[in-house]
Amino acid sequence: MKRKNLFHQKVAIITGAANGLGKALAILLARKECHLALLDIDAANLKKTGLLLDGYAINYTLHPVDVAQSEKVAEVREEILTVHKSIQFLFNCAGVSVTAPFLEQPKEDLHWLMGVNFFGSLNTCRAFLPELLKQEQSHILNVSSGLAFQGLPNRTAYTSSKYAIRGFSEALRAELFHTNVNVSCAFPGPIKTGMPDRSRVTDIAFLKKEIKYLAANGYDPEWVARVMLVGVSKNKSEILIGRQVRMAVLLKRLLPRFMSRIVGKYQNRLPV
């Protein structure tokens, strides 16, 4: 029996839609004839994403905005509702990275990263949740990371933001249990998104190593997006994406001390 298209003729907001995972998700949803409101600070690449959607039977709008600025997100909310009238899905895919030893991380970089990765999701949830609550059924998906279960050296800021998204999503799902709004959190492994090119680093050699690793071992963004949509369709609270993440979660839960010791002891041999 053919599975019902949960997204057909609905309206979805996607943050981080100019590149990588958000872009792939926009294309997949367009194929399902889901109308789209796309948000990203990268206006040039956001426009390119829009051009890829021109052949689909949907309405889409582009909104260049920094999701870290709550007042700007509130303004975009009014723009979106003026055109789309309602919202059924919110996909928070916007993300940035900082790679550096903790003591070498400028506090400005930490604030920048938390502003996008954590407060960006809070800002969009706060702005759009009132509208989602008006719908017969609606869904929020926040993208975290496999690092929300086990942090890595030189990723203290990034790991912290992803742990925060995990906790926020878990608490929000519980808070909205008796409502029509479902909440999922996705935990992908490494993805070929080009994020390292847009990250802030102190070690160029490490950056080159990371780019090489992702090119050889990163997951395809379209595959990750497809797994996320299946998870949303099944109303999963946690969407673990990739064998590496599932294995890491299992080891962390069964052997937490062992996992931490291995990561610490062999940190110089880790691929990223």
pLDDT of residue 1: 33
pLDDT of residue 110: 94
Q: Which two tokens stand for residue 249?
A: 């979660």
Contact 141, 96 (CB under 8 A): no
Contact 75, 97 (CB under 8 A): no
28 three-class SS = helix
209-233 per-residue burial string, b: 16 or more CB within 10 A, e: under 16: ebbeebeeebbebeebbebbbebbe
Q: pTM of the entire structure?
A: 0.91
243-260 per-residue burial string, b: 16 or more CB within 10 A, e: under 16: eebeebbeeeeeeeeebe
Residue 73 CA to residue 14 CA, distance in Å, equals 12
Contact 26, 221 (CB under 8 A): no
Dihedral (CA of 208, 118, 184, 34) sign:
negative
Contact 219, 241 (CB under 8 A): yes
Paired residues of 11 in beta bridges: 35
Half-sphere exposure for 167 (CA within 13 Å, toward CB) = 8
User: Can you say how many angstroms the Cα of residue 42 is from the centroid of all Cα atoms in its chain?
Assistant: 16
Amino acid, single-letter form, for residue 167: G
pLDDT of residue 196: 60
The one-digit pLDDT tens for each residue of the chain (272 residues) are 345 789 999 999 999 999 999 999 999 999 999 999 999 999 999 999 999 999 999 999 999 999 999 999 999 999 999 999 999 999 999 999 988 889 988 999 999 999 999 999 999 999 999 999 999 999 999 999 998 888 888 889 999 999 999 999 999 999 999 999 999 999 998 888 776 666 777 666 766 767 676 777 778 999 999 999 999 999 999 999 988 889 888 887 887 777 777 776 555 554 45
User: In terms of Cα–Cα distance, which of 155, 149, 166 is closest to 249?
Assistant: 149
pLDDT of residue 193: 76
User: In terms of Cα–Cα distance, which of 96, 40, 98 is closest to 67?
Assistant: 40
Give strand ranges (E) for 49-201: 60-64, 89-92, 98-99, 138-143, 181-188, 200-201
